[in-house]
Structure 1
Amino acid sequence: MQIDTIAKKLLFNTVRVDTVLEDGTEGSGTAFVIAHKGVHGLRRFIVTNRHLVDGVRSGSLVFTQAHEGQPLIGMRFELEIEEFPDAWFVHPDPDIDLAIVPMAPLERAASEQGVQLYYHSIDTALVPDTSVVKAFDALEEILFVGYPNGVWDHVNLLPIMRRGTTATPIEMNFEGQSEFIIDAAVYPGSSGSPVFLYRPEGTPPSGLARAPLYFLGVISSVFFREEENQLVPGPVPASESTNMVRQSEMIDLGLVIKSTQVVSLLNEYSRRWKE
């Protein structure tokens, strides 16, 4: 496969997160690679949800291997991270469900084992500014990439792409938080999935929102129907075996943390740490 389109590159933006919780339960989730130019120059990071790394006994990130800059499709490299929860830098606001880890030490660890990692990072330049956000309509089509219910092409190591729409305007802060809602099939394993506004080639531009791709945010929670006429948001669980999934009904509404919060976390990390 020639990696020559935006959509194909997004197949190699996500990283599968496999975890073992303290109670021995196995889970999976989604992370992705982002590039950010901060006070110490351009650096790359892995981004995921805080709830995917808290309370984890052990965890690993699954990459595709590379050779001379090209992907070795199906060649798996699983990078196990010791003391998994401690490796992540979490958002200083405990209510913001984000965590990051720099790519540089991960790539060094892979290189020490003779492995090159293949991935395509998205850039924080894809985060829409205020004027572009104001140009978005109340209803926009979105794309998110990840491993719903742990489903993926485990032979070719490719994630699942899914479509949906915004359910609340991106311009507004849902319930006063830096979040918005999407109408999409969000399942266990979708936690940490990056959400994009993607306009395929040939789609007419809309006002100031002319770029083919915008990074809108990160899936964090899904709405559950716990009992008749009661809807509550809850973290997208890493494992479908949790009681929440068995006893509650997901209603295909996902809560997305806005990408501006990812940028603020990256800036905070860059302010504290040079390496």
Structure 2
Amino acid sequence: MVMDLAVELIHATVQLEQPLGDGTRTVGTGFLISSPGPDGKPRTVLITANHVFDKMQLAEARIGYRVANADGSWSYAPKPLKIRDKDGAALWTHHPTRDVAAMTIKAPPEFAKAAIPVDYLAKDDTFDAYQVNAGNEMMALGFPRGLSANSAGFPILRSGRVASYPLGPAAAFPTFLLDFSVFPGNSGGPVFISRQQNPTTLTPVGDKAPEQGFIAGLLTQQVELNSERLEIGIVTHARYIRETIDLMGSPLAAATVADADRPTPPAVQGARTAAAEEAARD
């Protein structure tokens, strides 16, 4: 049976939140990647935007797990997630130049099983392998303003078209634009292409990309110009998710990664960006 990447990523995407004590909460989105550790043992890695965790000042957040019931229904079952030590130091790894965070978590068995293999993260040549360019449709998962698709806490699936050119190489163009509305709570969600939804237009050339599709990156910002929302999202290339995972346990490699990176292109610098970390009402 061919894997439907959209459905698989829905199961792997979780809400991240931290109550602020005044009836509001900081909300973001994360998703789970399966990536072996340096010792080769299985490891579940939580990916989100760095600013999602950075704006959570308390030591403990909540991660929105879901539980399948015997009658076929689902229940929302958030669990505590420790993100800072007793001295307030971050327990996650962040990319030195990009808005990407990663941390190893001990997920319930069903969620560890739902984590997407690291091979589904796009590499530098994946967009070319799929012949993806400006105008192609991508999908995004998230929790806009803390809303979920239902009471079970599943993420909301939306779509938009690639709104910038070119898409690579990632070192020169580390982010790209997606034509869809971004809201607080969307930050950190996966942006991806699924062949199940695009069977006739997306065919990988050779064996350089997963046959079922790929994760193109994660949503990190919305574009604003003169305080006006332009209904455009900024997606950070999956290359930087891979780099962040590689940095876990290897902090000395951060300097090498930072030196190899280039500044964000002027077109993105010229727009005001509003990170989606604002407090959402409970």
TM-score, normalised by the number of residues in structure 1:
0.74
What pairs up with 1:118-137 in 2 under 5 angstroms? 118=111, 120-134=114-128, 135-137=131-133
Contact map agreement 2:12 2:111 (CA 8 A) in 1: no
Q: Which runs of 5+ in 1 are unaligned?
A: 111-115, 227-247
What secondary structure, in the 3-state scheme, does the structure 2 residue paired with 1:171 have? coil
Distance in 2 between the 1:82 and 1:270 partners? 16
Give the CA deviation at 1:80. Answer: 4.2
Counting only pairs closer than 5 Å after superposition, residues 95-110 of structure 1 correspond to structure 2 as 95-104=97-106, 107=107
Superposed, 1:156-171 pairs within 5 Å as 156-169=152-165, 171=167
Cα deviation for residue 44 of structure 1 reads 1.4
Please tell me the residue identity of whatever aligns with 1:159: P
Task: Please show how residues 189-200 of structure 1 align to structure 2 within 5 Å.
Answer: 189-200=185-196
Q: 1:259 to 1:155 in 2, by over 3 A?
A: same
Q: What is the alpha-carbon distance in structure 1 between the residues aligned to residue 251 and residue 124 of structure 2?
A: 27
Gap change, CA 1:271 and 1:182, over 3 Å in 2:
same
Deviations 1:87-140 (A, max 9, x none): 5323251x3111111023xx3xx6xxxxx5536211221123444322323321
**Which of the residues 135, 142, 155 maps onto 1:139?**
135
- Structure number with the higher strand fraction is 1
Equivalent residues of 1:31, 1:48 under 8 A apart: yes
2:203 aligned counterpart, secondary structure? coil
Deviations 1:66-102 (A, max 9, x none): 579x986124133242637745323251x31111110
CA deviation after TM superposition for structure 1 residue 11, in Å: 1.7
Q: Whose relative contact order is higher, 1 or 2, with alpha carbons under 8 Å and at least 6 apart? A: 2
Q: Could you say what secondary structure the match of 1:11 adopts?
A: helix
Match of 2:77 in 1: 76
**Whole-angstrom CA distance in 2 between matches of 1:117 and 1:127:** 21
> What is the percentage of aligned positions where both structures have the same residue?
21
Which residue does the alignment assign to 2:272?
Answer: none
Which of 170, 174, 197 is the matching residue for 1:178?
174
Letter in 1 for 2:168: M
- Which residue identity is paired with 2:91? W
Are the counterparts in 2 of residues 148 and 188 from structure 1 also a CA contact under 8 Å? Answer: yes
Contact 2:4 2:196 in 1 (8 A): no
1:221-273, CA deviations, whole angstroms, 9 ceiling, x for partnerless residues?
Answer: 110122xxxxxxxxxxxxxxxxxxxxx33211111111111111111114469
CA gap 1:16/1:166 in 2 versus in 1, 3 angstroms: same
Q: Which residue of the partner structure matches residue 8 of structure 1?
A: 7
What's the counterpart of residue 52 of structure 1?
A: 52
1:14 Cα deviation after fit: 0.8
Post-superposition offset of 1:13 = 1.1
Residues 1:206 and 2:203 are matched in the alignment: yes
Q: 1:80 to 1:221 in 2, by over 3 A?
A: same
Q: What is the alpha-carbon distance in structure 1 between the residues aligned to residue 39 and residue 166 of structure 2?
A: 31
Q: Using a 3 Å threshold, how does the CA distance of structure 1 residues 168 and 90 change in structure 2: closer, same or farther?
A: same
Task: Give the conservation status (yes or no) of the 8 Å contact 1:183–1:253.
Answer: yes
> 1:11-40: per-residue Cα shift (whole Å, max 9, x none)?
211110112459985221101101123532
CA RMSD in angstroms comes to 3.2
Corresponding residue to 1:269 among 233, 238, 248: 248
* 8 Å CA contact 2:123, 2:238 repeated in 1: no
8 Å CA contact 1:136, 1:170 repeated in 2: no
Question: Aligned equivalents of 2:26 and 2:213: distance in 1?
Answer: 30
Following the alignment from structure 1 to structure 2, what is the Cα–Cα distance between the partners of residues 71 and 83? 36
